[in-house]
Each structure stands twice: as C-alpha cells, then as structure tokens.
C-alpha cells in the first residue's frame, strides 16, 4: 500500500471524519490519497485558517482536530495556529509535507526546517525518516495530542517517503517509553485537600480550561456544590461551571469581576483546578492572593509551583480526581455555617460592584448591549467563538455560558483572526448548532478569506462584527496609559462589510440602531448559509472593570 | 478509603507549607537518559533557552544500550527552581529518565586539554605542575605543550590557575560527566 493511503487509513482508525488544509507540491501524494479516501477534506484559503479551524473543531467537540499543509510557506503559515494550540492545550495533529529527502538541507524550493521552527510550540513533533514508521508515527501523534495535557503534535513527511510502498498493518504498537501521563492523583494528597477545604473559612475554587479539556464540568459542579464554595473560572474555563449560579462569582483576572478578584485577594484557601496562574489572572504576582494557601490540581506536573507555589499539589486528571475529592470532603461532614461570614463579605462586593455599564439614551449601540442581544437572540444556547480584543472581553462578561465547549476563544496566545476559522471548525463538528463568531473589526480582516470556505462548503456560521472602527483594546490602553496618543489604531471605514460578504457569496447585513438590533440578529440567525452582520457600536467605550497590567487585584479600576 | 478518626479532621491551614518551587542555591548535576533519536539534543537545548534556564556544562554520549543516550548537564539551582527544570524536561516525549544526582553519592569527572605557551624555555616547569596533577602531556611543539587533565571541575580550575601565568593558549573542556557511587544505577 502507498504510505499516503496508510495515512488516510490511520486517520479513519483514529475516528477522524474531517480534515482542514491546503494542498501543494510536497503533500500532493497525501491529497491523491484523500481524493477518494473517505475522509472529508475542507479546503481552507490560508493554512492559518486551516489550523484554527482544526482548533475550533477540537475545542467544540473534544476530538482531535487535523490540519494539513505543504512544505515551506504552507507549514510556516500553520505556525500561529500551532502556537495557539500549545498555549490553550488544544488537541491537534498537523501533518505537513516536506521536500524530498535528497533535497533536505539544500535550501530547495519550498524547503523550511519545519520541525526546527515549531520545536518550541509543539507538544511533540517528528520528521519521518523511514516510510515504514509512518503509520506508527501518525497514531503516536494522536495519542500524544489527546492524552495528558492535550496539545499540538506535528508530523513532517518528506514527499518521496509519502509515495513509498509499505506493508500496512492496522494498529501498530506505539513506542513511547518516555511518555506516561499520570491520571489518578495521590490518595493522601486528595484526603489532605479535603481536610484543608473543610477547615477553610474563606475558600475559593478557581478552575480553568483544564476542566473543559478533561470533560470534568459535572464533576467540578459536584465539588463546588458539595458545600457552598464560591467559584470563579478563568476565561478559558467559562462554561465549566454553569452561569449564572448563586455560587458563581464571575470570571477572574484583568477584566473579571471585582467579586471574583477580591475573593481571591482575601481567600485563605484557593483550590486551583486545571488552571495555570497566568499573569492575566494573577496580576502582580508578589501581591496575588497574599493570605491564601493553594491546592493545585493539574494533569501537567510542570504547572505545579511554576508561578505560584502549591501547598497541596495533586497531579492527574480532574475527571478522576474530583469525584474522590468530593467523597473525601463529604465524609468530613464540615459545618457549612463556617462560610456564612465569607458569603456575607462576597455578597457585599457583588451588590456594590455588579457587572454593569451605562446604556445609551438614544439609538447608539453599546458593545455590552450588543453582547446581551446576542445572548437573547441565541437563547444562550449557541457556540460562540471570538477574536481577540475588547469584543472578546465583553463577550466573556455579558454572555453567561451554562455549559462547556460553547465558548471558544484564543486565551493564551491571544490570536487576532482566530474567531472565523474557529467558528468554521466548530460548525463542522456540530452541524446542527448555531455558531456565532463575535468578531472585531481589527481581527476579522486577518482571516476573512475563510468566508469563501464557509460559502463553498456550506458552513453557516454567523459573524457578528462588533465594529467600532478602531483597534479598540489598543486604543483603550493608549487612552488610559499613553496620554490618549492614538497611534495606529484608526481602522477607518474600509471595507464595506456588507458588500464584502456579498462578494464572497455570503449574506451581508448591517445594524446601526439599538431598536432594530435584536430583530436583525434574529434575521441573521434565520438566514441560511454564512452571514456577516456589521454592527456599529460606540467608538470609544472601554472594557471595565480592569486590573492595570502589573497591578494587584486590589487596584482594579472602573 | 478508610475514614480517619474525627480528631484528625482538624487542620490549621497555617501548618501547610509550599512543597516546591524553591531555589536550592547550589549547583545541580542532572543525568538525563533520552531516546537516541535525531533532534533530541536540540529539543533539550531549545527548552532550556526558551524557559530561560542556563546550562553550565553539558556532556552527551551513548550508553550500553544503542537506543539510549545519556546527557549529563549542570544547572545553577540558585538561578532556577530545579524542580521546574526537571519537570519541564520530563515533558519532552523523548526524555526517559532524569536523576538529580546527590553530590555526596556521585563521582564526577571532566576531561580538559590545556595548550600552554612554552616560549621561554619553561616547558619543564609546566610538565612539573602537570605531574603533580597527574596530568598527561599529549602534545609538544617548539612553542607549546598540551596537557590532559582528568578530574573534578575544581581540580581542572586549580590547574588552570597554576598554568595561566605561563600563557594559556587554549583550554578545551568536555563538561562534567558523572556516575553514582556503589552498586546503584545512575
């Protein structure tokens, strides 16, 4: 069998129904095998788009996303998506073509050292040197991508090797002696954690995207509600605990709620689950949660005590550990009334500092109003992707997510242009769902070419563009920290988004008035096929509250 | 899981201590077994550079198993939390085993080649110093003498101090390698 036919067989054996990519010289053999191989291929318009589509597919479904690219520029175009996937722990397999082995190292046409370039941004990678290894390497890539802390794996295949004839045997044995992720969690540590929770007077449960990756949202909710533990989530974790909920403090960090940030600041015990104490969460590290001891549950041992020293580290899979923690905690029969004073304090913050904004008294559409309208128009049930910037923060603030895998954004890398291709991938994984991309007018142009993919493949994503004609988040920082010197943030009025959507063969709509916004959104959702709805919002609204960069939670402004 | 008596259910949070993340303040010698595959050394070097860890010395070689190589490296535990270094290394799929060697339980050796200027008829003096260090003269020319010294880093540095006044043309060191004392496998 040709090695490339074996690749397609491996993809099917791994349960892959769809791959995203673009063909080119070095991966022509693979595309020949895909021609009638029985796996759906979606032709994207840029490899970065294909990479983010694979991420969106993975984030929405929990399955491994796959993207293909040719050698050289095809592969280098993938790198932003690979870096995005490693930062947000997204299980993806990237298969790139490479020049023929006799050309390797000669600066041949479309040659780039892709395994070298991507080394710092992959969970693992390999370059094929013997075509007989291809099936095993592909299966190893899937195994590594989806187990432990998920992440991107790259397999680089020289063109001549992919054409070789090999003896293909299904399910080759994996050879990964150095890869053994832990899952169970240490029983003594779990017991100690339960005891610490039972003795805490001001506890906070702080969970992140790891809970979503581990499919442990129900287990998290069980733990939180095994007592009246206050809960906050990172922006990556939204949906892992159902919002709104009486124990829900809102998300935490730079643009999180005051209640969540103040609770972290005053907590005596913080139980971190699948979260990594990112600088956007901690603010000034030296002043982060100064009174707290830390339980840290994470599948990646290197996250423990990386940024914040843990007192009770537990390494393993949250889905396996949390039920044991709940059992141990219940057995202690802790007196719930010890949390009364703590809740009184938290309720005080919640009443004093609710998440709110000043609505316009005319037809001007405030960005926060726009997000609330999306929530209403979708019944809170949509899969929402976003780009990066102010609109992302407002979406996370004003669209409560009641279930995991409904909120898909680029948290770690902060990749502008992520939203549309991610929505495309999410829609492919969930053909029946309403998928909305909340886009920014700075971000959308960065991968707008994928509208063509949506039209051609009949992928009916709805792009709701929050258009303030600025690189809004940068403008906000220039306003607040750089004396209103607005340097290179004016996006002007180009393009005409309605005409652009029309040119792509999608439907273009526009909303400029508050009173008709909701109806226009509903019209967009009911329109078959992809839609771009250009919503003109207040130009200079700021995202608040905010912990200025390098400041402590105490110093939130706005 | 058996339930513990109620008395031990009480825990003062003040008693809890952070378990890691601290700097040890001393030099650590890490013995790392890796799969003998292309690019593994690049992965390790890349990991150190992007995490800001500094490798002080590095020695790489085969082991008795042709599929496995050993990398012995030293890292400053005052500059980096050493557990973070080892945990990040463990995340590399090709890394099989890491030992943070206990200095008291380890024999370390390094080989150094000193090319010393012998311009002023001082060759005999240099050879005399080399003899004291049980060094070997491995090359002689009209104007230089090259000495091989094997030992701990401290011994090599002591020899360096003594021969520097003669005029040190070149010094080449291999980096430290190490093996545990006794029957225990490194």
Closest chain A residue to the Cα of B90, Cα to Cα: A178
pLDDT digit string (tens) for A28-75?
999 999 999 999 999 999 999 999 999 999 999 999 999 999 999 999
All structural domains of chain B: 22-101 (3.30.70.260), 107-180 (3.30.70.1150)
pLDDT at B5: 44
User: Is A312 an interface residue toward B (CB < 8 Å)?
Assistant: yes
User: Is A182 an interface residue toward B (CB < 8 Å)?
Assistant: no
Enumerate residues 6+ apart whose C-beta is below 8 A from A289: A264, A265, A267, A270, A282, A308, A553
What secondary structure, in 3-state letters, does A268-330 show? CEEEEECCCCCHHHHCCHHHCCCCCEEEEEECCHHHCCCCCCCCEEEECCHHHHHHHHHHHHH
Of A178, A191, A305, which has the smallest distance from its Cβ to B96's Cβ? A178
pLDDT at B2: 46
Of B11, B84, B93, which has the smallest distance from its Cβ to A179's Cβ? B93
Contacts of A199 in chain B (CB under 8 A): 9-13
User: Is A311 an interface residue toward B (CB < 8 Å)?
Assistant: yes
Contacts of B42 in chain A (CB under 8 A): 116, 119
**Strand-pair partners of A439:** A465
Interface with chain B: mutation pick from A150, A178, A266, highest number of B CBs within 10 Å: A178
For the cut 90, the answer to whether the pLDDT of residue A341 exceeds it is yes
CB contact under 8 A, A198 and B43: no
Question: Rounded distance, CA A506 to CA A509, Å?
Answer: 10
For the cut 90, the answer to whether the pLDDT of residue B78 exceeds it is no
Question: Rounded distance, CA A91 to CA A340, Å?
Answer: 41
- Chain A with chain B: Cβ pairs closer than 8 A: 92
Contacts of B43 in chain A (CB under 8 A): 119
pLDDT digit string (tens) for A345-365?
999 999 999 999 999 999 999
* Domain A367-536 superfamily per CATH: Thiamin diphosphate (ThDP)-binding fold, Pyr/PP domains (3.40.50.970)
Of B1, B21, B87, which has the smallest distance from its Cβ to A309's Cβ? B21
The mean per-residue pLDDT over the stretch B118-130 comes to 90
Q: Position of tokens 């500059």?
A: B79
pLDDT digit string (tens) for A145-166?
999 999 999 999 999 999 999 9
Question: Rounded distance, CA A528 to CA A523, Å?
Answer: 10
Per DSSP, the three-state class of A247 is coil
Closest chain B residue to the Cα of A127, Cα to Cα: B38
Architecture of domain A187-352: 3-Layer(aba) Sandwich (3.40)
User: Is A328 an interface residue toward B (CB < 8 Å)?
Assistant: yes
- What is the pLDDT confidence band of residue A143, given thresholds at 50, 70 and 90? very high
Residue A502 main-chain phi, psi, to 5 deg: -60, -45
Our CA-based measurement puts residue B46 at a distance from the nearest CA of chain A, in whole angstroms, of 7
User: Is A151 an interface residue toward B (CB < 8 Å)?
Assistant: no
Question: Rounded distance, CA A429 to CA B147, Å?
Answer: 68
- What is the pLDDT confidence band of residue A313, given thresholds at 50, 70 and 90? very high
Question: Rounded distance, CA A524 to CA A551, Å?
Answer: 41
CB contact under 8 A, B16 and A311: yes
Q: Could you tell me which residues of chain B have a Cβ less than 8 Å from any Cβ in chain A? A: 1, 3-4, 8-13, 16-22, 34-35, 38-39, 42-43, 46-47, 50, 81, 83-84, 87-88, 90-97
Q: Which of A407, A350, A401 is nearest to A244 (CA)?
A: A401
**Strand-pair partners of A152:** A92
Q: Which of residues 485-544 of A touch B (CB under 8 A)?
A: none
User: Is A196 an interface residue toward B (CB < 8 Å)?
Assistant: yes
- What is the pLDDT confidence band of residue B80, given thresholds at 50, 70 and 90? confident
Of B42, B46, B94, which has the smallest distance from its Cβ to A178's Cβ? B94
Tokens of A108: 């041949």
Q: Which CATH number is A3-162 given? A: 3.40.50.970
Our CA-based measurement puts residue B84 at a distance from the nearest CA of chain A, in whole angstroms, of 6
pLDDT at B1: 44
pLDDT digit string (tens) for A132-142?
999 999 999 99
Interface with chain A: mutation pick from B2, B5, B14, B19, highest number of A CBs within 10 Å: B19
| ipTM reported for the complex, 2 dp | 0.90
Question: Rounded distance, CA A80 to CA A87, Å?
Answer: 11
pLDDT at B6: 46
Q: Looking at residue A389, what DSSP letter applies?
A: S
Contacts of A153 in chain B (CB under 8 A): none
Interface with chain A: mutation pick from B13, B22, B94, highest number of A CBs within 10 Å: B13
pLDDT at B3: 47
The mean per-residue pLDDT over the stretch A312-338 comes to 97
pLDDT at A549: 86
Instruction: Tell me the H-state helices in A333-449.
Output: 340-352, 367-378, 390-398, 419-429
CB contact under 8 A, B43 and A119: yes
Delimiting residues of CATH 3.40.50.970 domain(s) in chain A: 3-162, 367-536
- What is the pLDDT confidence band of residue B21, given thresholds at 50, 70 and 90? low
Question: Rounded distance, CA A350 to CA A442, Å?
Answer: 33
Give the CA distances from residue A548 to residues A395, A444, A543, in Å, rounded to whole numbers and listed in that order: 20, 26, 11
Cβ atoms of B176 and B153 within 8 Å: the answer is yes
Tokens of A349: 């913050």
For the cut 70, the answer to whether the pLDDT of residue B163 exceeds it is yes
CB contact under 8 A, A311 and B19: yes
- What is the pLDDT confidence band of residue B22, given thresholds at 50, 70 and 90? confident
CB count in 10 Å sphere of residue A312: 26
pLDDT digit string (tens) for A506-520?
999 999 999 999 999
Closest chain A residue to the Cα of B46, Cα to Cα: A120
- Average pLDDT of chain A is 97
Give the CA distances from residue B139 to residues A527, B110, B127, in Å, rounded to whole numbers and listed in that order: 85, 19, 11
Contacts of A312 in chain B (CB under 8 A): 16, 19
Enumerate residues 6+ apart whose C-beta is below 8 A from A133: none
Of A144, A199, A305, which has the smallest distance from its Cβ to B21's Cβ? A305
What's the start-to-end Cα distance of chain B, in Å? 36
Closest chain B residue to the Cα of A113, Cα to Cα: B39
Closest chain B residue to the Cα of A311, Cα to Cα: B18
pLDDT at B10: 81
Give the CA distances from residue A362 to residues A365, A366, A414, A538, in Å, rounded to whole numbers and listed in that order: 9, 10, 34, 11
What's the start-to-end Cα distance of chain A, in Å? 64
- What is the pLDDT confidence band of residue B4, given thresholds at 50, 70 and 90? very low
Of A127, A178, A311, which has the smallest distance from its Cβ to B18's Cβ? A311
Cβ atoms of A157 and A125 within 8 Å: the answer is no
pLDDT digit string (tens) for A371-393?
999 999 999 999 999 999 999 99
Cβ atoms of A404 and A459 within 8 Å: the answer is no
Tokens of A493: 């009025």
For the cut 90, the answer to whether the pLDDT of residue A480 exceeds it is yes
Q: Which of B43, B121, B120 is nearest to A122 (CA)?
A: B43
Question: Rounded distance, CA A516 to CA A511, Å?
Answer: 7
- What is the pLDDT confidence band of residue A212, given thresholds at 50, 70 and 90? very high
pLDDT digit string (tens) for A249-268?
999 999 999 999 999 999 99
Of B9, B94, B95, which has the smallest distance from its Cβ to A332's Cβ? B9
pLDDT at B8: 62
User: Is A336 an interface residue toward B (CB < 8 Å)?
Assistant: no
Question: Rounded distance, CA A305 to CA A272, Å?
Answer: 11
Residue B68 main-chain phi, psi, to 5 deg: -125, 135
User: Is A93 an interface residue toward B (CB < 8 Å)?
Assistant: no
Enumerate residues 6+ apart whose C-beta is below 8 A from A514: A360, A362, A363, A364, A365, A369
Residue B79 main-chain phi, psi, to 5 deg: -90, -25
Contacts of B4 in chain A (CB under 8 A): 191
Q: Could you write out the DSSP letters of every residue in A344-362?
A: HHHHHHHHHS-S-----SS
Enumerate residues 6+ apart whose C-beta is below 8 A from A76: A112, A114, A117
A545 upstream amide cis, omega within 30 of 0 = yes
CB contact under 8 A, A302 and B96: no
Of A115, A124, A268, which has the smallest distance from its Cβ to B93's Cβ? A124
For the cut 90, the answer to whether the pLDDT of residue B121 exceeds it is no
Give the CA distances from residue A7 to residues A58, A76, A98, A269, A398, in Å, rounded to whole numbers and listed in that order: 20, 22, 15, 49, 44
Closest chain A residue to the Cα of B35, Cα to Cα: A178
CB contact under 8 A, A309 and B22: yes
**Strand-pair partners of B172:** B113
Delimiting residues of CATH 3.40.50.1220 domain(s) in chain A: 187-352
Pairing state between β A531-536 and A507-511: parallel
């Amino acid at each position: 069998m040709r090695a490339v036919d074996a690749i397609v067989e491996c993809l099917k054996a791994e349960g892959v129904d769809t791959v995203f990519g673009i063909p080119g010289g070095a991966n022509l053999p693979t595309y020949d095998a895909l021609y009638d191989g029985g796996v759906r291929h979606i032709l994207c318009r840029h490899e970065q788009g294909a990479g983010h589509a694979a991420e969106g597919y993975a984030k929405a479904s929990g399955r491994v996303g796959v993207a293909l690219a040719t050698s050289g520029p095809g592969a280098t175009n993938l790198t932003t998506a690979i870096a995005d996937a490693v930062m947000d722990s997204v299980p993806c397999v990237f298969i790139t073509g490479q020049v023929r082995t006799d050309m390797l190292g000669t600066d041949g046409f479309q040659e780039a050292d892709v395994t070298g370039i991507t080394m710092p941004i992959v969970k693992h990678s390999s370059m094929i040197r013997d075509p007989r290894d291809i099936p095993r390497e592909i299966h190893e890539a899937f195994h590594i991508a989806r187990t432990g802390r998920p992440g991107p794996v790259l397999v680089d295949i020289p063109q001549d090797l992919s054409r070789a004839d090999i003896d293909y045997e299904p399910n080759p044995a994996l050879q990964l002696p150095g890869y053994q992720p832990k899952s169970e969690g240490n029983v003594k540590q779990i017991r100690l954690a339960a005891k610490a929770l039972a003795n805490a007077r001001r506890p906070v449960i702080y969970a992140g995207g790891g809970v979503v990756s581990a499919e442990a949202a129900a287990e998290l909710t069980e733990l939180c509600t095994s007592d009246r533990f206050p809960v906050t989530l990172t922006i990556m974790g939204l949906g892992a605990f159902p919002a709104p909920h009486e124990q829900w403090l809102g998300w935490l960090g730079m643009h999180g709620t005051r209640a969540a940030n103040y609770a972290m600041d005053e907590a005596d015990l913080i139980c971190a689950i699948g979260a990594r104490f990112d600088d956007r969460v901690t603010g000034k590290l030296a002043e982060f949660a100064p009174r707290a001891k830390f339980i840290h549950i994470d599948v990646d041992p290197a996250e423990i005590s990386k940024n914040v020293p843990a007192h009770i580290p537990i390494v393993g899979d949250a889905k396996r550990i949390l039920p044991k923690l709940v059992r141990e905690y219940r057995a202690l029969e802790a007196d719930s009334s010890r949390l009364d004073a703590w809740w009184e304090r938290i309720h005080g913050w919640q009443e004093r500092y609710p998440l709110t904004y000043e609505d316009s008294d005319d037809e001007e559409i405030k960005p926060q109003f726009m997000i609330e309208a999306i929530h209403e128009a979708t019944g809170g049930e949509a899969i929402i992707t976003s780009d990066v910037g102010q609109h992302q923060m407002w979406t996370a603030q004003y669209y409560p997510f009641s279930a995991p895998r409904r909120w898909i954004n680029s948290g770690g890398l902060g990749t502008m242009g992520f939203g549309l291709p991610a929505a495309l991938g999410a829609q492919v994984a969930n053909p029946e769902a309403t998928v909305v991309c909340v886009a920014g007018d700075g971000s959308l142009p960065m991968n707008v070419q994928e509208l063509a993919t949506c039209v051609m493949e009949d992928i009916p994503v709805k792009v709701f563009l929050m258009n303030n004609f600025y690189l809004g988040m940068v403008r906000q920082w220039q306003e607040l920290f750089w004396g209103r010197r607005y340097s290179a943030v004016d996006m002007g009025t180009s393009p005409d988004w309605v005409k652009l959507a029309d040119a792509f063969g999608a439907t273009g709509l526009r909303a400029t008035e508050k009173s008709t916004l909701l109806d226009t959104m509903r019209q967009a959702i009911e329109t078959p096929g992809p839609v771009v709805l250009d919503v003109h919002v207040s130009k200079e609204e700021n995202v608040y509250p905010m912990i200025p960069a390098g400041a402590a939670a105490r110093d939130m402004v706005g | 899981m058996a339930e513990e008596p109620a008395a031990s259910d009480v825990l003062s949070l003040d008693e809890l201590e952070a378990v890691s993340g601290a700097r040890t303040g001393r030099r650590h010698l890490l013995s790392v077994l890796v799969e003998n595959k292309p690019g593994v050394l690049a992965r390790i070097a890349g990991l150190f550079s992007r995490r800001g860890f500094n490798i002080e010395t590095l020695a790489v070689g085969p082991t008795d198993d042709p599929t496995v190589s050993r990398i012995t490296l030293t890292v400053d535990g005052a500059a980096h939390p050493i557990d973070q270094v080892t945990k990040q290394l463990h995340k590399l799929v090709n890394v099989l085993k890491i030992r943070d060697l206990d200095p008291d339980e380890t024999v370390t050796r390094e080989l150094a080649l000193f090319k010393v200027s012998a311009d002023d008829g001082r060759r005999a003096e240099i050879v005399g110093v080399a003899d004291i260090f049980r060094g070997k003269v491995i090359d002689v020319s009209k104007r230089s003498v090259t000495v091989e010294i094997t030992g701990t880093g401290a011994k090599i540095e002591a020899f360096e101090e003594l021969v520097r006044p003669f005029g040190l043309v070149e010094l080449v060191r291999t980096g430290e390698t190490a093996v545990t004392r006794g029957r225990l496998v490194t």
